[in-house]
Structure 1
Amino acid sequence: MILVTGGAGFIGSNFVLEWLAQSDESVLNLDLLTYAGNLENLSSHEYDPRHIFVKGDIGDTKLVPKLLHTYKPRAVINFAAESHVDRSIHGPEDFIQTNVVGTFHLLESVRAYWAELDEKAKTDFRFLHVSTDEVYGTLCANDPAFTETTPYAPNSPYSASKAASDHLVRAYHHTYGLPVLTTNCSNNYGPYHFPEKLIPLCLLNAMNGKSLPMYGDGQQIRDWLFVKDHCSAIRRVLAEGKLGDTYNVGGWNEKANLDVVNTLCEILDELKPREDGLSYKVQITFVKDRPGHDRRYAIDATKIEHELGWKPQETFETGIRKTVIWYLENQPWVDHVVSGAYRQWLNKQYV
């Protein structure tokens, strides 16, 4: 059995679904079900005995040790995190509590559990921490892409909290010998993405005749990674990664935000044309840029390809088409996830 934290969120739920599709090994899924956690993502395994869901906090110093000793997982994959830059600007405390304090308590619980295992189980055990490229800061147009040795320079409360958690994980390996692995990924997109991030937000707004908000000039560049490719990379790192090492996971798809939204609009124009015959591009609206908005992220994923043989299977063009089709075919999921609290957030952030 493996323990997955944050397994009802966007990336976590995709990982659980992919794991159960490709393995007979059970998953213990721990998630607090905050606003972005959604058990509906995992409804296909509601009655699957291989999927055991527990609602709880990674920082719960009574619950987590109990789960570890009861189920005895061979690995912990830590997706649990507050992950939205905009939300961290408005309310940084939640990010410190979950990403820093929560990760600390999780590490302490795992360290105590690991120390009591027999020698073979200790040798086989893994703690895989899932992080972000945002810890590296921002790049200029001609700068080389982030590598695993790029110095950390986080620029938002979110990225600073993730950087702190990365450092804690590294320290627990160096100080206590905990067998850890860390992955730093680029911008994920795909099915089950909570509609506050750029791609699902613009998809949702387009289909509902609302404006597609574009920060500043829309020329902020990100590297885009299809979520199922990310999941396959994590499985590879878990199976073959070198203890204590970090692996950058990227899609080799640098795109400006405006280009991403234009591509979305073109696919929607083809698959679900507007009644008036106009392109969805007429809904693009430029809004005030967010404070401290990083200009460019780019991942150099050479290490994971050379050492572990992983590379993404989807281009941006194939992945984004699959994403649009998924949202068009899963309108009930979209309707359920968009609550009153979500609408209030949109008004606060973009209006």
Structure 2
Amino acid sequence: MITSKYKKLLLASSLCVAAGTANAGYEIKLSDEDKISFGGYIKVDARYVDGDVAYRDFWIGTGTPLEKSASQFRLFANETRFNTKYVHGDVTGFIEMDFWGGGGNEIISNSVHPRLRHAFIKYKDVLAGQTWSTFMNTSAIPESADFAGATVGLVFIRQGQVRYNMGNFQVSLENPESWGGDTANDSMPDVVARYNLKGDWGSVSFSALGRQLNTTLGNSETAIGASIAGRIKTFGKDDFRFQLHKGELGRYVGVAFTKDLVGEKVEDLTAYLAAYRHYWTETLRSTVLYGRAEADVSGADRSQWSVNLFQNLTKQLAVGVEVGNFEMADQNVDSNYAQLSFKYVL
């Protein structure tokens, strides 16, 4: 057994070694059963937006229409994040934070608050805590300079949950929220079931979601929806990523694209994303993507496209440039954007 004093010495020496290298995933072994890992990345973005949808640091499923076109430039590092993983035998604890928590100003310090992204405990096949919804397939998110890229076509949500894994099958109970309705009476958890297929060809997931939504007039409505998403290997290192979502999915799709309830009606939507990544060389690659979401009740219709070019300067440091467009077709407005990013993976 390693003594407490020796553990401290090992921790200190490991941190010194880690700080002087560019290797990703710094792991510190404390004993045969205990280890700590540190990770994350530093990302710096220069972003220019021009059009009649107001500037945002990254596009989501909605925006603010402008009476006349405007342009804005910003330089920021809010997407930077840090995570820590603790492992003790069959038990894993994971915490991650970034800096989209708000606060600060652009006059003096540009300080911003840390924001909790993930905090969960995993024991064998059971996970409990806040992390990506089981309904979401993270492997189908395209590489982009814009945060997540075409969020209108993505399932994109983190929340509290209890998940059980049975081989390729997963089932979870997740935090309910009747967005647009009476959240005070949300007494039933959301239920998610998912099946994963993996092989040398890539991976595909099939997900189903069932919820009880509560309207402002005290009615309870059942909401169901489904999703298929995946990453398919094509030629060489190239891959094709896709997502297709259909049903009464509301807040699960498009990052604030549309509410779960519009008045007393349950929103029904269709959303999809297609992205192809091509490697020009071993370290130079491009992604072309398009995402769109349409809602039946509210009539919301949003889309985004982009094309980018990324180059790894070292194994951990990449620079990328991206141009694209975000459109709110239901309000006849759109904006073009250009973004330059530097990303150093810890």
TM-score normalised by length of structure 1: 0.32
Larger strand percent = 2
Larger proportion of helix: 1
**Max Rg structure:** 2
